[in-house]
Amino acid sequence: MSIIELFPAFLLVFIRITAFFVTVPLLAHRTIPAVHRVGFSLFLAVISFSTIKEPPALDIDGLYMMLAVKEAMVGLLLGLIAYIMVSAVQIAGSFIDFQMGFAIANIIDPQTGAQTPLIGQFFYTVTLLLMLATNAHHLLLDGIYYSFQYIAVDQYALNFGSESFAYFIAKSFNQMFIIAFQISAPVVASLFLVDLALGIVARTVPQMNVFVVGLPIKMGVSFIMIIICMGVIFGVVQNTFETIVLTMRNFLALVGGSS
């Protein structure tokens, strides 16, 4: 087949990869110029399209527009799944901020433009740096690269309305909160003991203003526990990278199972 006949199929591959870079963590950062993301999407689309054994010859008509919407949806959902798992780190930070009194001070996330907690943004930045240090971002690229083996370019029907898909969504959100609890549990438990001790002090020594004394104590205990548990937090974050890959693979196998 000629290049002109293969161009519609290549355009679908390019749409899926470009949509993936809109929501995937790290690569969808606002500080990365859009020209670079589009160029990298085009480069990866050429590589992915060259690995398709029998690329279909498609006509640009109404059904082709449906395929384009399907490709954009698959790419967005794949990137969103990875972002949801990584956002568990920010949720863990929000749990810690609420207990240590930092919930009243938020900062602007440069990626989303929304307000995020201080410790949550710190954990998220460390997670992105750890992702680069361990080459975990290569696993994200593998997810979109091998997605064409699960969901073909010319596949119209996707398995979105089944009971198993709803169970998969609920299980993914449950896994996200489990990861957040694992990261924040040591610090939150320590702060609970500090609150218990301050409550006892407030009952035994009424003259002491525990609201003034308690805030710096809770902040100090929080930073000490974060430093002590940093190795454990890094271990949980590394396991999160593996969870991202497994979740993306299960999503592709579930959605593309109708073929």
Of 90, 107, 118, 92, nearest in space to 187 by CA: 92
Distance CA(156)–CA(184), nearest Å, equals 43
The secondary structure of the chain in percent helix, strand, coil, rounded to multiples of 5, reads 75, 0, 20
Of 99, 92, 84, nearest in space to 121 by CA: 92
Query: What's the gap between Cα 224 and its chain centre?
Result: 27
What's residue 208's pLDDT? 78
Residue 119 near residue 184 (C-beta atoms within 8 A):
no
Q: For 31-87, what is each residue's pLDDT tens digit?
A: 788 888 889 889 988 888 888 877 777 777 888 888 888 889 888 988 888 888 888
Distance CA(215)–CA(237), nearest Å, equals 29
Residue type, 192: F
Residue type, 129: L
Distances in Å between the Cα of 60 and the Cα atoms of 32, 69, 241 are 32, 13, 38
Q: Mean pLDDT in the chain?
A: 84
Q: For 81-105, what is each residue's pLDDT tens digit?
A: 888 888 888 888 888 888 887 766 6
Residue 19 near residue 79 (C-beta atoms within 8 A):
yes
pLDDT at 199 over 80: yes
| Average pLDDT for 2-25 | 85
The structure's pTM equals 0.82
